[in-house]
Amino acid sequence: MLLEYVQAALGHAKYEILADDGTYYGQIAECNGVYANAQSLEACRRELQEVLEEWILFRVSRQLALPVIDGIELKVQEVA
């Protein structure tokens, strides 16, 4: 389920080339604060995935809600 969520979120990523320095910028609008910047598109994609994974782990550790993406909802539940 986690891998499906990450893949779905990455499917929403938008990339652009920054005019001032020619680097690539990517973000996932549904995941506030998830963005990356790198010299190549492939490096930007890798960095964006890493940032997304860290963002998910941070939100889970703080018991913060994650947005539903493409119908995929991750919920944290305590297990005894």
Q: What pLDDT does 23 receive?
A: 98
Show the domains of the chain with their CATH numbers: 2-61 (3.30.160.250)
Name residue, tokens 């005019």. Answer: 19
Q: What pLDDT does 31 receive?
A: 98
76, pLDDT greater than 80: no
Name residue, tokens 């963002």. Answer: 55
Q: Summarize pLDDT for 7-45 with one digit per residue, the tens.
A: 999 999 999 999 999 999 999 999 999 999 999 999 999
Closest CA to 33 of 47, 51, 21: 51
Q: Which residues face 69 on adjacent strands? A: 72
More confident position, 28 or 74: 28
